[in-house]
Amino acid sequence: MKIEQNKPLTLSEIKELSGEHVKQAIIAYHMSVQEPAVSKLERKRMTSLQLSKIQRYMTAIGATLEIKVTLRDGTVLGEDVFK
């Protein structure tokens, strides 16, 4: 799969890169949504999605979402910044 470096990924592209072949119906079940909602999510670029939806999707495909914040002075805040 060819990925454009300067373009945010879609969830579908991330699923393909992960090597997981999880059907949309299974993802929908784990996210507690209908299958058409998963299809719609998979077509959107990551920049236009809520973090909670991304987290549920990643869990459904067996992936982990990690977020870090790097401050101007170089200080790195890990995922605990969101707890």
The token pair at 48 is: 């236009």
Percentage of the chain with pLDDT > 90? 30
SS3 of residue 2 by DSSP? coil
Domains in the chain with CATH codes: 11-82 (1.10.260)
Angle between helices 11-18 and 35-43 (to 10 degrees): 90
SS3 of residue 68 by DSSP? coil
pLDDT tens-place string over residues 25-62? 999 999 999 999 999 999 887 777 888 888 899 999 99
